[in-house]
Amino acid sequence: MATRQGIAGGGGTDGVKAIVVRTLKAAGSATRQLDGGLGTALMALGVLVLLLVTAVTSLVGVGLLMAPLALRALHGLAGRERVRLARWGPEVIAPEPPPTALRLALVDPTTRRQARWLVQHATSGLLLGLIGFWLPLLAVRDTAFPLYWRLGPGDPTATSLGVGTAHSWPDALAVSLLGVGWIAIILGLAPGMARLQGRPGRRFLQAGPDTDLSLRVAELTATRAAALDAHATELRRIERALHDGTQNRLVSVSVLLGAARRQVARDPSLADDILERAQSAAEQALAELRSVSRSILPPVLDDRGLAGALSGLAAYCAVPCRIDVDAPERCAASVEATAYFVAAEALTNVAKHSAAAQAGITVRTRGGRLRLTVTDDGRGGADEDGGSGLTGIRRRVAAYDGTLRLSSPPGGPTVLEVDLPCGS
């Protein structure tokens, strides 16, 4: 199932526009990832030098005094890289902390895996980060060359590659074509470079297969607690909806029917008005009962799938909302329901709090994972402690062993990303 729908239903132009916007966003995100990786790669190079100096000086005994500091630097940098990678993808679960004893720490599998990551990140990761940093500068320099080439000294070097000179406008325009080439390289290669830069961290900084299972047990225990909490919260919500709404309506129907029966014996002409009121109360109770049942598992998910259900949400949203769903593989019904309710709550927050002019929902299913992204161009500043329902969303996502990331700086934009296992 693959559906792409614009604000007005989508078309050829809207499809091309969506592809362009998605490509630009992917390249921008990848460039930021590479720049962030450049920062940790420079630190990795420093830590690698420290470890080498420590190893060499250990031959004369001095390095043994430096070893604890070097190991703390290694473990600290590895933790920093896990946090960075979690901002751009699935969370990297840390293994158990290595032992504090120096001899045990040196032979610990976690330390060895972190050392292998350090070498790769300080070399290939640093190179990729430098490329990701320089490519945008080269693109801006060459693309804008016709705007300033006449202002420079005579026979200026034309290209960012340091070759050629510009003597005429055709020469300057030719340089700008090189800038367009740099832009094309960024759009085409930056996402792959970002994935390549982050691959060693996701491979070596993740809890290894030989790690004690107590970490996973603790994680699953927390997930189970979140699931039970979310389940209890949902039951309380349904109970309140039935008690405060449907039950009161049905009590009103019962009272009105009793009054109508008594009125028939006295004055049948007046019983019609009471029966009409009873019918109205019964219809309201039925509507509220339907609303409660839809909040448990929306029938639209079975009828139209996740793409159709999200399109329905977008159609009723007070803020114009773009839908982009690419889900060739179906997920478990409960997982799709979770994605649906997360999107519904997020759009409610957008309409109530963001003052946004436009929102967007993107869904991708790849490799047994469902990734849902809800964005808006509002004022930002979303806070889980502000009563906006984000805590409930996080609990609902955690119940399925998923992850939630929220980016909402003051001034916007707000980006809510949810990653869920598709289930079976």
Q: Which residue has the tokens 């830590």?
A: 47
Mean pLDDT of the chain: 78
pLDDT tier, 8 (very low <50, low <70, confident <90, very high otherwise): very low
> Helices (H), strands (E): how many in the chain?
13, 6
pLDDT tier, 195 (very low <50, low <70, confident <90, very high otherwise): very high
CB atoms within 10 A of CB 209: 6
CB atoms within 10 A of CB 198: 23
Q: State pLDDT tens for residues 405-414.
A: 888 888 878 8
Give me the mean pLDDT over the 178-201 stretch: 90
Q: CA torsion angle for 386, 33, 329, 333 (degrees, to 10)?
A: -20
pTM here is: 0.52
Q: What is the pLDDT of residue 37?
A: 92
Q: What is the pLDDT of residue 64?
A: 78
Q: What is the pLDDT of residue 160?
A: 62
Strands in 359-366's sheet, in edge-to-edge order, are 2-5, 321-326, 359-366, 369-376, 414-421, 403-407
Q: What is the pLDDT of residue 228?
A: 61
Name which of 12-16, 75-79, 183-187, 338-342 the model is least confident about: 12-16
